Amino acid sequence: MTWKHGILSAFVLVAAWQLLVIITGVPSFILPPPMKVAKAMWFYHALIAENAWVTTQEVLLGMIIGSVLGILTALHLATSRTARAILRPILVFSQAVPVFALAPILVLWFGYGIWSKIVMAVLIIYFPVTSAFFDGLMKTPAGYLDLAKTMGASRARTLWHIRFKSALPSLGSGLRLAAVYAPIGAVIGEWVGASKGLGYLMLLANGRVKIDLMFATLIVLAVLTVCLHLAVDILARKLAKDH
């Protein structure tokens, strides 16, 4: 997909939206026409920007903290049999708990500020990053490890020069998944309890029947998510380069 394709599909989407409004004649408190949403976006741009910044911080910090924790856990699991025996079942079992259901508890523990949302995003992306990277670390081609062994490599250097490097594409796939989940985590956190952020703004607009603002906020959230995708995609490609 190129930029041109992206702009073209955005155009098609807006046209279809406008057409739908015209044909069905839905009232604008159900589905406002594109122009009305654009006006709301302009009118409330300061408000939207302020809240978008909060959500961006939550998502980015969640991404960074969750990825770092995931990478460290995967390295630990890959190097320690004991860790594998103890941690892996816990990790898999923890996936049985729907993370969304934890949101109220997280707000209770970490408050209305950005930290409960960051923790939410961290919890959601931690498992995909850990498991993707761990899989990559465990499927290093056997021939590479044979080579390292005959060359007299220490475990630490084998891990760094060979296992880590050959697992980078898998880490990239994990980060791609994280980019999908992190914004969901942050927004759900905001829905449960917040005084800032795009998720909060959507609820606020909904409550005041400012449907045009709600849609404007939704679009900004979608654009932010797409930007995150593109950035992570570039990173993942870099990681998988030469593999």
**Nearest distance from residue 167's CB to another protein, in Å?**
11
Nearer to another protein, 125 or 148 (CB): 148
Task: Choose between 101 and 156: whose C-beta lies nearer to another protein.
Answer: 156
What is the distance between the alpha carbons of residues 88 and 238, in angstroms, rounded to a whole number? Answer: 29
10 Å Cβ neighbour count for 135? 16
SS3 category, 89: helix
Cα–Cα distance measured from residue 140 to residue 132, given in angstroms and rounded to the nearest whole number: 13
Nearer to another protein, 158 or 217 (CB): 158
Nearest 5 degrees, angle CA 75-CA 146-CA 139? 40
Residue identified by tokens 């950035």 is 231
Q: 121, 178 in Cβ contact below 8 A?
A: no
Q: Which of residues 143 and 207 has its CB atom nearest to another protein in the complex? A: 143
Report whether 28 contacts 211 (CB < 8 A): yes
Q: Do residues 127 and 91 make contact, with C-beta atoms less than 8 angstroms apart?
A: yes
Select 45 or 243, whichever has its Cβ closest to another protein.
243
Residue 94 CB, nearest approach to another protein (Å): 33
Is residue 62 within 8 A of residue 116, CB to CB? The reply is no
In angstroms, what is the minimal distance from the CB of 60 to another protein?
27
Using DSSP, state whether 31 is helix, strand or coil.
coil
CB of 78 to another protein, least distance (A): 18
Nearest to 48 by CA among 196, 208, 184: 196
Q: How far is the CB of 132 from another protein (least distance, A)?
A: 18
Point out which residues bind another protein (CB under 8 A).
141-144, 146-154, 157-158, 161-162, 165-166, 168, 241-243
Query: In this complex, which beta carbon is closest to another protein, that of residue 93 or of residue 242?
Result: 242
82 vs 154, beta carbon nearer another protein: 154
CB 192 within 8 A of CB 17: no
Smallest distance, another protein to C-beta of residue 157, A:
5
Closest CA to 94 of 67, 122, 115, 113: 122
Q: How far is the CB of 175 from another protein (least distance, A)?
A: 18
